[in-house]
Amino acid sequence: MIKVVIVDDEKMIREGLKAIMPWQEMGYEVVATAANGREGVEKFSEHRPDLMIVDIRMPGMDGLELIESVRALGGSTRFLILSGYADFEYAKRAIKLQTDGYLLKPVDEDELQQHLMKLRDILEAEASERLRAAAPKDRDQLFRELLEGTVELSKTDQDELNWTNGRILLLRLSGVSLESGELQAAVKERLVEAVEQEGRGFVFWHQQELVLALRDTYELDQAQQLLQQAIQDSAMDWVASAGRVVKGPCAWPASRADAQALLKEAFRYAGRQIITDGVEPVVPAWLPEEGDVPDNAAALADKVYYAVDAGNTEAAQRMLEGVGWSWYLTGTSEQELKSRLVQATHSIIHRLVQHRPELTREPGDYAPELLHAYRMSHFTDVIACVMQALETVVSRLDQGSSDQQIKRLIDFIHRNYNQQLRLEMLAEVFNYNSAYLGKLFKTKTGEYFNTYLDKVRIEHAKTMLAEGMKVYQVADRVGYLNADYFHTKFKKYVGISPTGYRKL
């Protein structure tokens, strides 16, 4: 039986889960329940369960802190997350902790049962693998030791392998679903059939990669085609790297070292290909100047927001790609880069929902699309994930004629008058030539852009001054970096100084 511990601060949930599921029929046994995170850790130490079903929000130690504590104690316990909140930050942390499911309360019985059935198959397969690994040294174990350079072949082993020249190819599979273990096993089976049964080499797992030890008669373009055929219907992402051709299995470590070095840089390359020294990494068509690279997610969101609000997804993608790649090239880690891009995109969507009435969905509804980016193995795929979320939003924004565009520009000014707006910048995000946009704006409004912006700012300033705010505070609040300049503009449009107006 697969041992289960249920952790939830609501007794009704704990007892309900025990009662509604046919645990024994599915091969499970609920060995304990816990009312909070600390008690959950105690129950883990006592029972060492195979699966823990954990509520996220609990007083004291929450569910994610519980998971971190259990991970620190060791073991291979699996986790299913329960939450009454479609909470972006919690979901993001749950992904990073490599949980096996994220279910919203009230729990759908069928959905939970599906998760449990899939988990059962995976846990049983893992148990079988552990038993096999505990058996006396087998062929794959010999291959792993050859790859590590920790064994010398006997004359008999050398004759049995019948190996002359060849190379090591490392294949990394990345699944995005609960069935990943099953899919990986299926991929290996196909590769074994295609490679070993035809005498072209050997296929075996080592650490996190599937290793293909290929004879030198097997060309890399053939290997590329082989991998595409073996993985094409699994919906899994993959990337592979190939080391140099070496003589004999005892030289495998040298070829493996080449492949490992290339695989470490896989994030820079496009997926579903074999990386060699001759393959060029992906580089965006545009990179910002050094001084134009924002240093955090919030600054990137400010930079991209205007383009998205204007419906110009091409400009938004260009900025996300260019800035993201600049961060990566200057040493930002892969995980930190993903976090920055996702956080920036989430911030943009949140601001759009706040300011655009035609957007009715809550920001959290987009969380699954954005969180998918954390699972991606390549920079281009991360960008594709965040852009998919943005384009979903942009598609719901009102577009239209030049009159509608000018109306949108005016709305944009009224929402963002306190920012450092420039016609040239807005022309880019609204996809217009700046000179043409300036003329169009003057024709439609009767005012030049800068004059219109000044008047909007001054009207807001009058309200703030009437409320008793100090002049320098008002200047900053309405978008003027210099209080003296604000004083000049205010007197020009109102006829008296800000101080005089404040005293009225």
Range with the lowest mean pLDDT among 33-42, 330-339, 368-377?
368-377
User: Taking residues 489-502, what's their average pLDDT?
Assistant: 91
Alpha-carbon distance of 500 to 504, in angstroms, equals 7
Q: Is the pLDDT of residue 444 over 80?
A: yes
282 in any annotated domain? no
Domain stop point among 394, 415, 449: 394
Percent of the chain with pLDDT over 90: 33
271 or 99, greater pLDDT: 271
374 in any annotated domain? yes
Pairing of the two strands 78-83 and 102-104:
parallel
| Contacts (Cβ under 8 Å, ≥6 apart) of 193 | none
Range with the lowest mean pLDDT among 12-16, 103-107, 118-122, 214-218?
103-107
Residue 62 burial (CB count, 10 A): 18
Domain stop point among 394, 414, 431: 394
Express each pLDDT in 117-149 by its tens digit.
888 888 777 765 654 554 445 788 889 999 999
Express each pLDDT in 256-310 by its tens digit.
999 999 999 999 998 889 999 999 988 888 888 888 899 899 989 988 888 887 7
Tally of residues, the chain: 504
pLDDT at site 289: 87
Together in a domain, 73 and 144: no
Alpha-carbon distance of 408 to 411, in angstroms, equals 5
Residue 218's domain is classified under what CATH number? 3.30.70.270
Together in a domain, 115 and 14: yes
93 or 392, greater pLDDT: 392
Tell me the pLDDT band of 73, cut-offs 50, 70 and 90.
Answer: confident
Q: Are 345 and 411 in contact (CB under 8 A)?
A: no
pLDDT at site 363: 45
Together in a domain, 151 and 225: yes
Together in a domain, 317 and 370: yes
CA angle 296, 302, 305 (to 5 degrees): 130
**Two tokens at 120?**
């059962």
Element at 14 (helix H, strand E)? helix 11-20
Tell me the pLDDT band of 392, cut-offs 50, 70 and 90.
Answer: confident
24 in any annotated domain? yes
Q: Mean pLDDT score of the chain, rounded to an integer?
A: 84
The rounded radius of gyration (Å) of the Cα atoms in the chain is 30
Tell me the pLDDT band of 191, cut-offs 50, 70 and 90.
Answer: very high
Residue 480's domain is classified under what CATH number? 1.10.10.60
284 in any annotated domain? no
| Contacts (Cβ under 8 Å, ≥6 apart) of 207 | none
Together in a domain, 226 and 325: no
Q: Are 86 and 103 in contact (CB under 8 A)?
A: no
Tell me the pLDDT band of 474, cut-offs 50, 70 and 90.
Answer: very high
Percent of the chain with pLDDT over 70: 87
Together in a domain, 25 and 61: yes
143 in any annotated domain? yes
Alpha-carbon distance of 217 to 213, in angstroms, equals 12
Tell me the pLDDT band of 458, cut-offs 50, 70 and 90.
Answer: very high
User: Taking residues 36-43, what's their average pLDDT?
Assistant: 93
pLDDT at site 173: 87
pLDDT at site 261: 95
CA angle 46, 52, 57 (to 5 degrees): 110
| Number of compact structural domains in the chain | 4
Express each pLDDT in 216-261 by its tens digit.
878 899 999 999 988 887 667 889 999 999 988 889 999 999 999 9
Express each pLDDT in 148-189 by its tens digit.
998 877 666 666 677 778 999 999 987 655 456 777 888 999
Q: Is the pLDDT of residue 440 over 80?
A: yes
Note down the domain range covering 390: 290-394
- The helix/strand/coil state of 377 is coil
59 in any annotated domain? yes
Tell me the pLDDT band of 92, cut-offs 50, 70 and 90.
Answer: low
Q: Is the pLDDT of residue 91 over 70?
A: no
Domain stop point among 372, 394, 416: 394
Residue 57's domain is classified under what CATH number? 3.40.50.2300
Nearest CA-CA partner of 300 in 355, 353, 340, 352: 340
pLDDT at site 435: 82
pLDDT at site 196: 86
pLDDT at site 164: 75
Together in a domain, 12 and 120: yes
336 or 132, greater pLDDT: 336
Tell me the pLDDT band of 405, cut-offs 50, 70 and 90.
Answer: confident
Q: What are phi and psi of 7, to 5 degrees?
A: -125, 115
In 200-248, where do the E strands start and end? 201-206, 209-215, 237-242, 246-247
Together in a domain, 328 and 455: no
Together in a domain, 20 and 118: yes
Nearest CA-CA partner of 440 in 400, 414, 407: 407
